Amino acid sequence: MKRIPQILMLLGTLCLLTLFVFPMWKIQLFAPQYPDGVTMYIWINKLGGDSPGTLQNVNILNHYIGMKYIEPDAIPELKYFQWIILGMVGLGVAAAFWNKRSGFLIWLILLALIGILGMYDFYLWEYDYGHNLSPKAPIKIPDASFQPPLIGTKIILNFVAKSLPHTGGYFFMLSGVLAAVAWWLKGKQKS
Amino acid sequence: MKKHPVQKIFGFLALTSMLVLFFASCNSNSNSPTSGVLGDDVASQVYVGPGEYDEFYGFMSGGFSGQISVYGLPSGRMLKVIPVFSQDAEKGYGYNEETKPMLNTSHGFIPWDDSHHPELSQTNGETDGRWIFINGNNTPRVARIDLSTFETAEIIEIPNSGGNHSSPFTTENTEYVVAGTRFGVPYPQADVAINSYAENFKGMLSFIKVDPNSGEMEIAFQVLLPAFDYDLAHSGKGKSHGWTFFTTYNTEEKSTLLEVNASQNDKDFIAAINWKKAEEYIAAGNYKEMPANYAHNVYDEETHMATSTMMKSVKVLTPEDCPGLVYFLPTPKSPHGVDVDDTGEYIIGNGKLSADLSVHSFTKMQEAIANESFETEIAGVPVLKFEDILAGVVEKAGLGPLHTEFDGRGNAYTSFFISSEVVKWKVGTWEVLDRAPTYYSVGHLMIPGGDSRNPQGKYLVALNKITKDRYLPTGPEMNHSAQLYDISGDKMKLLLDFPTIGEPHYAQGISADRIVPNVKKIYPIEDNKHPYRAMGEKDARVERDGNTVHVYMTTIRSHFAPDNIEGIKVGDKVYFHVTNLEQDWDVPHGFAVQGAQNAELLIMPGQTETLYWEPKSVGVYPFYCTDFCSALHQEMQGYIRVSPANSNIALKWGLGEEEDQS
Ligand SMILES: [Cu+2]
């Protein structure tokens, strides 16, 4: 019984490793002539789709409105974010072995900060793609917003765009929940 | 305008007959197709709603169009025309440099043929949806179409043959597809008097081995027989697996006025070939390797190119040297189709000049062979006794039986050309169960899997030879008509009429779920091994080699790269190698250039195709995308500048560069 918080803390930490296996986020575009939808996945270190051609297909769509090409090589986050996660895994394991309530809390706060900053960063990229349009775009629609939704559903021209966390993202949240429960149980044990 | 009294009477008669019809159809469950509106709901049986899929694919031969057309059944909606033996300007097939070799033969480039009998590949006697084969009748050939792409993958020419009609009927594991000559021809071809037919002409039956993995075809052996006309064929199945049966007519061996001269014998033959025995003779070296010259053309899906190889010999088996290889089964009278029922026991000879259908028993045939009960021998081939092998006769079923298929429930369906009907009869008791008129003069008929061991006997399609008044008139030439019947009940029920391409001689049907999961949507660009591919716009360029110019061009929505080309000279030989960089389903781009003497290109995603162009005069000529690919399709265009032959304008190409301001 006494070891439960420590085990939970360790489990929560290890949840982060799933980010190397599953995508964190999913963006889908639906339109009548795309009956299966166009599905893009954001991984911790790459962008992909449900087919090798997806990114190209999205870029072809985007170029009509002068949106920048989405080029994974030009997104530095895809290079360094994995190191942040690995660092958090290291810290989490250390906190679990240190087995102090304050250690759990510090880790939890760090994780929340990373989550919030990550979403803010995601928003900035979306804002950039949605607003930084080429003046030579073939199709210009004044006042139209092309920025994809941060989370949820939005209509962009002829498309319905849907943006939601994917498996990796849910594990990230689970990781925080487990750490929080560990911190809470640890507090109960003391009293 | 005043009506003439006669017109009034006709008007009255028409009105009363309509009323009579109306009440008649209300009160009876008539078999008339119009009863759908009023009686049982025929319309809903063939209605496939918008966006819904048909239950079956139907593959119809194009006859003199040389192609295969693909239909959805039961709706009768046309899905695609697959170019096979004929050039097709719509798709650039046979016009672009990649597919020209597909139409190469020992006679050189042949842009047309007469395609007759599609045949699906089978595994364990069931259609497996991997390939469909079809014969070219005029310049004897057999083609294989890959059903993952619905494109022609291979064409092999048949040597020592004239009129490849009894082809390409498969064995039950697609070990072989066959090719029997309709015309006797001198063997080997020679300058001889035509009236020396009986002496100098021969009939050759070919067995084409199909590689079980790649599908690639190879002529395994030919069987040398008398110069009868070998009309149709089918292979045994189940207990008769290992045998292939060919009908013959003109056993009189005449070369003139066949209409009369080839209709004299009371009985012609079904030639039964024991191909397993043939394999033994081949293995034992009991054949003659004969010089020959025939083309073998293969399309490579990764290079997106066809290559043509001339083959130089063929193995020939002769009945005299190979006892037990061939038997003749006497069959009345000039039989057209030979059809083996789904159990493999019964061999139906459709004697087209007879009123009866003669059915042979495979078991009895085996007994007669074991007892060596032979009537005579012709050219080393034992002729069995008609009475020995006869299982039964479907008597006076109709006039002009042509072809029979089976529903897997013990029933057979025979087309009767002269009496223009389909007749359903019971296998084993030979009694006629039902008959349905066709509009008009049915040739072959088709039940999905109806010539396999496991028919999917829900529908029957009649392939009619005469159309007349079935559709809105379109001048003297009318499309041939097909008719769909529901055969799931005791009575056949006519559901639908639909026009077809060319003349479908035969068709094949298969439930869609055996094909759909394997259908490709794009060609992966990373697999493109075309020698002139451009894997991205960075590879787009123009290269000159003497007066030959290679343009490495790419397409992606919505531009060509390059789209401005200069430095081309009159008399150059220009090859546009266009790679479609798209990787999305149903985004082909087209390429057309003014003055091209061939056709357009229609390039599928991930594919490279080449158009040859010879500029004849100085000027600047536009090229453009022919397939409406996007909102900016009409902007997808470019220019090529042609300078005088002696000019020294440098080669120059580009995309999106600003115009010269000077
Ligand atoms: Cu285009």
Residues A50-99 pLDDT 10s? 999 999 999 999 999 999 999 999 999 999 999 999 999 999 999 999 99
Residue B37: pLDDT above 70? no
**Rounded Cα gap, residues B109 and B308, in angstroms:** 11
Closest CA to B179 of B146, B218, B206, B140: B206
Residue B26: pLDDT above 90? no
Specify the higher pLDDT residue, B12 or B395.
Answer: B395
Nearest CA in chain A to B585: A34
* A-to-B residue pairs, Cβ atoms closer than 8 angstroms: 28
* DSSP E strand stretches across B175-264: 176-181, 185-186, 201-210, 217-226, 229-235, 243-249
Contacts of A39 in chain B (CB under 8 A): none
Specify the higher pLDDT residue, B610 or B353.
Answer: B610
Nearest CA in chain A to B556: A60
Q: Which domain holds residue A175?
A: 4-190
Range in A118-122, B15-19, B305-309 with the lowest mean pLDDT? B15-19
3-state secondary structure of A74: helix
Under the banding of pLDDT at 50, 70 and 90, the label for residue B6 is very low
**Rounded Cα gap, residues B471 and B481, in angstroms:** 9
Contacts of A139 in chain B (CB under 8 A): 631
Position B95 scores a pLDDT of: 98
For residue A158, give how far its alpha carbon lies from the nearest alpha carbon of chain B (Å): 13
The reply to whether residue B584 touches residue A57, judged by beta carbons under 8 angstroms, is yes
Residue B9: pLDDT above 50? no
The reply to whether residue B583 touches residue A138, judged by beta carbons under 8 angstroms, is no
The correct answer on CATH 3.40.50.720 for the domain covering B525-654 is no
Range in A20-34, B252-266, B293-307, B407-421 with the lowest mean pLDDT? B252-266
Q: Are the C-beta atoms of residues B327 and B391 closer than 8 Å to each other?
A: no
Position B40 scores a pLDDT of: 65
Nearest CA in chain B to A138: B632
Long-range CB contacts (within 8 A, 24+) of A86-94: A88/A13, A88/A16, A88/A114, A89/A13, A89/A14, A89/A16, A89/A17, A92/A9, A92/A10, A92/A12, A92/A13, A92/A16, A92/A179, A93/A10, A93/A13
The reply to whether residue A64 touches residue B631, judged by beta carbons under 8 angstroms, is yes
**Rounded Cα gap, residues B317 and B452, in angstroms:** 28
Contacts of A31 in chain B (CB under 8 A): none
**Ligand 1 centroid, distance to B563 Cα (angstroms):** 13
For residue A171, give how far its alpha carbon lies from the nearest alpha carbon of chain B (Å): 32
Under the banding of pLDDT at 50, 70 and 90, the label for residue B660 is low
Burial class (CB in 10 A: 0-12, 13-18, 19+), B657: exposed
> Which pTM was predicted?
0.91
Under the banding of pLDDT at 50, 70 and 90, the label for residue B662 is very low
**Ligand 1 centroid, distance to A31 Cα (angstroms):** 20
Contacts of A138 in chain B (CB under 8 A): 631-632, 635
Could you list which residues have their CB under 5 Å from ion ligand 1? B 589, 625, 629, 636
Residue B345: pLDDT above 60? yes
**Ligand 1 centroid, distance to B557 Cα (angstroms):** 6
The reply to whether residue A53 touches residue B556, judged by beta carbons under 8 angstroms, is no
The correct answer on CATH 2.130.10.10 for the domain covering B56-518 is yes
Position B14 scores a pLDDT of: 44
The reply to whether residue B524 touches residue A139, judged by beta carbons under 8 angstroms, is no
Closest CA to B293 of B283, B308, B275: B308
For residue A165, what are its two tokens?
Answer: 């966390």
CA distances (Å), origin B353, targets A3, B333, B360, B438: 94, 6, 18, 19
Under the banding of pLDDT at 50, 70 and 90, the label for residue B2 is very low
The mean predicted confidence, pLDDT, of chain B is 93
**Rounded Cα gap, residues B127 and B129, in angstroms:** 6
CA distances (Å), origin A62, targets A57, A59, A96, A129, A132: 9, 5, 46, 9, 12
Which one of B522, B556, B632 has the shortest CB-CB distance to A138? B632
The tally of domains found in chain A comes to 1
**Ligand 1 centroid, distance to A37 Cα (angstroms):** 22
The reply to whether residue B632 touches residue A64, judged by beta carbons under 8 angstroms, is yes
Nearest CA in chain A to B523: A53
Q: Are the C-beta atoms of residues B66 and B84 closer than 8 Å to each other?
A: yes
For residue B632, give how far its alpha carbon lies from the nearest alpha carbon of chain A (Å): 8
Which one of A56, A138, A139 has the shortest CB-CB distance to B583? A56
How high is the ipTM of this complex?
A: 0.88
Closest CA to A57 of B521, B577, B149: B521
The reply to whether residue B584 touches residue A64, judged by beta carbons under 8 angstroms, is no
Position B263 scores a pLDDT of: 83
Residue B618: pLDDT above 50? yes
B contact set with A (CB within 8 A) = 522, 524-526, 556-557, 581-584, 605, 630-632, 635
Which one of B583, B630, B635 has the shortest CB-CB distance to A53? B583
What percentage of chain A reaches a pLDDT higher than 90?
88
**Ligand 1 centroid, distance to B518 Cα (angstroms):** 27
Which one of A52, A60, A139 has the shortest CB-CB distance to B557? A60
Amino acid at B241: H
To 10 degrees, the CA torsion angle through B498, B499, B503, B508? -30
Position B355 scores a pLDDT of: 82
Residue A190: pLDDT above 90? no
Average pLDDT over residues B615-625: 98
Rounded to 10 deg, the angle between the A4-15 and A167-190 helix axes is 160
**Rounded Cα gap, residues B75 and A138, in angstroms:** 41
The reply to whether residue A56 touches residue B631, judged by beta carbons under 8 angstroms, is no
Q: Are β-strands B637-643 and B564-569 bridged in parallel, bridged antiparallel, or unpaired?
A: parallel
Bridge partners for A33 per DSSP: none
Which one of B584, B631, B632 has the shortest CB-CB distance to A53? B584
Residues B205-215 pLDDT 10s? 999 999 999 99
Position B266 scores a pLDDT of: 86
Show me where the domains of chain B are located: 56-518, 525-654
The reply to whether residue B631 touches residue A53, judged by beta carbons under 8 angstroms, is no
Contacts of B632 in chain A (CB under 8 A): 64, 138
Q: Are β-strands B126-136 and B119-123 bridged in parallel, bridged antiparallel, or unpaired?
A: antiparallel
Residue B500: pLDDT above 50? yes
Nearest CA in chain A to B629: A60
Residues B456-475 pLDDT 10s? 999 999 999 999 999 999 99
Q: Are the C-beta atoms of residues B275 and B261 closer than 8 Å to each other?
A: no
Position B645 scores a pLDDT of: 96
Residues B92-131 pLDDT 10s? 999 999 999 999 999 999 999 999 999 999 999 999 999 9
Q: Are the C-beta atoms of residues A68 and A129 closer than 8 Å to each other?
A: yes
Peptide bond into B74 cis (omega under 30): yes
In which element (H, E) is residue B336 found?
A: strand B335-340
Residue B360: pLDDT above 70? yes
The mean predicted confidence, pLDDT, of chain A is 93
Position B32 scores a pLDDT of: 46
**Rounded Cα gap, residues B177 and B485, in angstroms:** 29
Residue B24: pLDDT above 50? no
**Ligand 1 centroid, distance to B517 Cα (angstroms):** 28
Under the banding of pLDDT at 50, 70 and 90, the label for residue B657 is confident
Residues A138-188 pLDDT 10s? 999 888 888 999 999 999 988 999 999 999 999 999 999 999 999 999 998
**Ligand 1 centroid, distance to B564 Cα (angstroms):** 16
